[in-house]
Each structure stands twice: as structure tokens, then as C-alpha cells.
Structure 1
Amino acid sequence: MTATTPAQSAYTRTCQQAAHQILRSYSTSFSLATRTLPAPTRVHITSVYAMVRVADEIVDGGFDSSDPAAKLALLDDFESRIADAVASGFSTDVVVHAFAHTARRTAIGPEHWEPFFASMRADARPQTFDPDGLRRYIHGSAEVIGEMCVRAFFDGTPPAEIADDVDTGARALGSAFQKVNFLRDLAEDAGELGRAYFPGVDPEQLTEQQKHALAAEILGELDTAAARIPLLPAAVRPAVWTAHGIFHELTLTIDRTPAERVRTTRIRVSQPRKLQIAAAALAGRPLSRRPRRNRSTQLCTTDSGSTQPRTTRGEP
């Protein structure tokens, strides 16, 4: 590999700063969690976040169009530019360039971004998911993002002896994050975007039993992730425990909030509570180290607070 010139380094830093600004502007929670990461890792995570955020804006808000074909065309173009930039090491698109730099450095490949874009294409038009469709969607929209983060944490592929375990934990954490946000965005997803993610659940008629079952499944995935966080590099654990703790708190809050309110109000964690969770994680005493399931019922899909505007998948 040829040496990087000062001009190339300056351009890459500028692109990474743009990615960081996207994270700060859109996600107070992830911005808080990433503050404790080592600087090189933080750069990689913010570059991944910015790429995901831009794709999400194409289908969910920033691109003001109701035409699925137009959204699909933009997604195709965005993915093509990512593939080209990862191959060449350069893009005139600052978000694409920042992501490509991270992907080339950390062994993120098409096996990660292709499922992600497949899920984004599923969001380009209204639809109702069946169990298999939901599993595929969550894999692309959340689980592979967790795998990308693992590669950022290890600055490449994790050691072979723990690779399967850490990827399992990352997928579980990503899936839990996604399902929490499905619950928090029921009204908007159904009413404005025409989406019903949970098979067998009418977003406008969520019952207490369904809500408890969903919370139980999410807590189980958080358990799976928690058991594997200690396998991550010590320097990144406080950030991961912070994110885990915030979503654990969200899940418990949703579980004890009446279903009618969950249907109409975006549940959130207060900033003081987020700071408490982050401080405990930084001190090595994560508040969600031993999450407990509070329901034994299964999610129906396995069988077949204050109001806040929607921000992004994964934003508490």
C-alpha cells in the first residue's frame, strides 16, 4: 500500500469531521456513548453511523418523495458509490469517503453493507412483514451494523477464538436496539410510512400482552449481548455498556408504560438518567450488567417519557 500524502490525510480528516457532525446532530445518546471511545475507534464508529444515517434519510425523511422508485434509485447510487470508494480509497462524497476509509481499515466488506442496503430498499415502500421477512430485515438493518462496530472495535476482524461470540453479541444488541425503536415508532411507522414490522401486531391495537412479550424478547437479546461485552477490548466496553444500559432502561420503561401510551408517544430516557448510566459504565459498574427478564412469555413473531420527534433507528 502506498504511503498517504499530507493532502490525502487532510481530506480524510475533513470527511471524518463531517461524519462526526452528523452523529452529533442526530443522536444525543450515541454521541454520549462514543465520547468514551479511543479516538481512532470513535472516528470509525462515527463514519459508520453517518453512512447509515444518510441511507435512512433517503427512505425516512431527508429525501422528500413518496415515489419508491426515486428512493430505490438513490439507494442504488449511494451503495454503488460506497463500493467504488472502498475499492479505490476515494470519493468526492464526504460521508462515503469517511465510511470507505473505515471499511478499508477494519475489514468491513460487501457482506456487511449489501444486507444493509437490502433492508433499506424494503423501507422504500409501505409493507407488512412476515416472520421471515422481519428476520431478514433486522439482519440487514441492525445485526450487520453490530458486526461493523465489532470490526471498528478490534480495528479489523476479531481474534478467531472469540469472533463468533462477539459477532453473536453484536447481532443480539443490534436486534434489540431495532426492536425497541420499532416499539417507540409504532404510530409514525404505521400512520405516516405504512409499515407494520411485528407480524401479528396491529400497530394501532397493541395489547398489553403483546407489549410484555416484545419487551421480554428484547430483554433476552440484551442478556445475550451483555454476556459477550466482556470479550470486547477493555477500552471500548464503557461505550458499549452505556448504549446497552440506555436501551435496557428504555425496554423496562416501555414494559411498564400502558400500551395505549406506547402506541402514541415516543418513549425516551431523560438526559440525567443517560448521564447516570454513562457514569456507571465508565466506572466499571454498568447498571445493566445483569439484566433480568420480567416476563416469561414469548414474542408472537416466534409463533407464526415524553413525546419526541422521530430521529433515527437506534436513537433513544
Structure 2
Amino acid sequence: MKKLFDDVSGACSRQLTKTYSTSFSTAVRMLAPSIRQDVYNIYGFVRLADEIVDSFLDYRQQTLLDQLRTQTYEAVSDGISLNPVLNAFQETVNRYDMPMKMIDDFLRSMETDLNKKTYDSKEEYDLYIYGSADVVGLMCLHVFVKGDAKKFDELKASAMRLGSAFQKVNFLRDFKADFELLGRVYFPGTDFETLSDLDKKNIIADIHEDLEQGFQGIKRLPIEARLGVYVAYRYYRALLGRLNRIASEDLKKRRIRVPNYSKLTLFARCYLDHKLNLI
């Protein structure tokens, strides 16, 4: 009897993903159907928390985040939630027996966004990225390896590096909006007004290293997941290339994006690489 509600819940997570991120939803569609919905379910949950801390500025954000935390724990424990997005998420968490600590770490980083605007040390920065990005990659990895603990352990480090790379690219792309709308600067020891080309060069070099380590893991992913993750990797690499080509002053003035025509070319090349076994 619950199947109809579960189907509606999954549809909510799919629509949420497609509405908020066309690029990510394209990558998800490149995953095998057997794992695609679970990734939508993870993204739906992550997006709820992101919206609370980034968008709902005129509401009681701490209260909303506390409610999300409580409702998420209850959903996983009970195997159901009247919130369709949480109902879909708990199904994925329970199907793959994901550790609750991953959810704890993610929500802890989200809460940090409510109270912290700058990061004084690399340790603080790395801890935030672990919770906000790395564990999301690990949740997805649980899905990709379908519960194979040995394969998970083999790919865990590279999945975290890929998650870190994606998050750092987001920080660089959103440098202007994060500061002007939210008062945040994530890169340690970096000041919005004084960001130099050398600062940007060092940040990009760090991201390139993460991307390279992450790519090594992509090549060892199960075939059902490889193309979808490769598409996301190539998209972020293209975005980073555009960020690399502009002056640091431009980061403070506009948001850099990959044009739609470039995305189409990129996706086609990824598919060709996949068909030719070049990944």
C-alpha cells in the first residue's frame, strides 16, 4: 500500500534535482536506471539542508535545521516520513545501510554555515568540506558499489577527493554571491577584497590535484556508475578551466558558468569516451 507514496516521494526528489541543477541532473541521467533514483534521493535531502542555510534567510533557520535533523532521524528509524523528500531519502539510507554518522557530519557542516563566515585554518576548512561534500560523495559511493564493503573501501579516498574538488569549484564560482549575500569566504586566510591572481592560482592548483585523484577512482567505478560520474567530473573540470582563465577581480564581479552549447559538446564527448572504453 505504501508503494504509491514511495513512487510520489521519488518523483519529488527527481523534480527537485532537475529544477535546482540541470547539469547535475544530466549527469544523474547517465547513471544506470538501477541506481539513478537513489542518487536523486540523496540530492533531494542535501538540497533541503542547503536551502535552509543559504536561501531561507528571512526564516528561523536554526529551528528549520533542527526540525530537519529530527525528522531525518525519525524517517530513517521508522522507515517512513510524511515529508516525501525525506521518505525517499530514508529508503536509500536503509537500502544500503548507510552509517548515520554521515548524516550527522553533513548536518553539522550545514549548521556551521549559520554561525561561521570565515575559516582561519586549513583544518577548519577541511572539516567543513568533509561534512558538506565528502560525505555526500560517500553516500553516493554506497549506492554505486551496491553495498560491496571491499569495493567501497578501495574507492573511498578518491570519492572524497572528487567531492572536495566539486565543492571547492563551487566556492570559487560563487565567490561573489557567497560574500555579498551571505557574508561567507570559505578559502582559509582569504579576504574578498584582496584576493589576488596568485591566491586564485594556488586555489586552482589544489583543486586540480583533487580532481586528478578523484579521476583515478572514476576509472575503477562499477560500469553502472562510471559514465554519470565522469560527466560530472568533466563538467567541473570545464568550469574550473573557465575560472582559471579570468582575472581574480572578475570573480568579484560575476558568476562564471559553462554555456549550454559547451555543455552539449562536453556531454557528447563523454558519451563517446564511454562507448570507446576510454574512461
Check the 8 A contact 1:16/1:47 in 2, yes or no.
yes
Shift of 1:280: 2.0
Aligned residues: 276
From 230, 246, 267, the equivalent of 1:257 is: 246
Partner residue in 2 for 1:49? 43
C-alpha separation in 2, matches of 1:204 and 1:246: 28
Letter aligned with residue 63 of structure 2: A
Instruction: Determine which of 65, 71, 87 is the counterpart of 1:75.
Output: 65
Q: Answer whether contact 2:31 2:225 (CA < 8 A) is retained.
A: yes
Larger mean CA deviation between 216-225 and 118-127 belongs to 118-127
Q: Who is 2:146 aligned against?
A: 155
Q: Is the 8 A contact 1:215 1:252 kept in 2?
A: no
Is contact 2:142–2:152 with CA below 8 Å preserved after alignment?
no
**Match for residue 281 of structure 1?**
270
The answer as to 2:5 corresponding to 1:11 is yes
Quick check: 2:28–2:36 contact (8 Å CA) kept in 1? yes
1:126 to partner: Cα distance: 4.6
Q: SS of 1:212's equivalent?
A: helix
In structure 1, what is the equivalent of residue 133 of structure 2?
A: 142
DSSP-derived class of the 2:255 partner = coil
Q: CA deviation at 1:32?
A: 0.8
* TM-score, length-scaled by structure 2: 0.94
Q: Which runs of 5+ in 1 are unaligned?
A: 1-6, 291-316
118-127 or 173-182, which moves further after superposition? 118-127
| 2:17 matches 1:23 | yes
Of Structure 1 and Structure 2, the greater helix share is in: 2
TM superposition outliers: structure 1 runs of 4+ over 4 Å: none
Q: What residue identity is the alignment partner of 1:87?
A: S
Question: Which of 58, 62, 70 lines up with 1:65 in the alignment?
Answer: 58
Determine if contact 1:239/1:281 at 8 Å carries over to the other structure: no
Q: What residue is the counterpart of 1:132 in the other structure?
A: 123
Q: What pairs with 1:93-104 in structure 2 (closer than 5 Å)? A: 93-104=83-94
**Structure 2 CA distance for aligned equivalents of residues 233 and 45 of structure 1:** 15
Question: Of the candidates 254, 257, 260, which is equivalent to residue 268 of structure 1?
Answer: 257
Mark the runs of 5 or more structure 2 residues left unpaired by the alignment: none
Checking the alignment, whether the CA contact within 8 Å between 2:27 and 2:231 is kept in structure 1 is yes
1:87 maps to 2:74? no
Deviations 1:62-85 (CA, angstroms, capped at 9, x unpaired)? x2427xxx3122111101111111
CA contact (8 A) 2:141 2:152 kept: no
Question: 1:25 deviation in Å?
Answer: 0.4
What root-mean-square deviation, in Å, do the aligned CA atoms of Structure 1 and Structure 2 show?
A: 1.6
Aligned equivalents of 1:282 and 1:81: distance in 2?
39
SS at match of 1:196: coil
Cα distance in 2 between the residues matched to 1:19 and 1:166: 26
Q: Which residue of 2 aligns with 1:302?
A: none
C-alpha separation in 1, matches of 2:57 and 2:195:
29
Partner of 1:305: none
Give 1:40 shift.
Answer: 2.9
TM-score (norm 1): 0.84
Work out which of the residue numbers 84, 98, 112 in structure 1 matches 2:102: 112
Deviations 1:49-70 (A, max 9, x none): 0111011110111x2427xxx3
Q: Distance in 1 between matches of 2:240 and 2:81?
A: 39
Question: Is the 2:175–2:252 contact (alpha carbons within 8 Å) kept by the matching residues of 1?
Answer: yes
Q: What is the alpha-carbon distance in structure 2 between the residues aligned to residue 166 and residue 279 of structure 1?
A: 26
Paired residues of 1:37 and 1:239 also in contact (CA < 8 A): yes
Note the 1:170-185 alignment, pairs <5 A. 170-185=159-174
Q: Percent identical across equivalent pairs?
A: 35
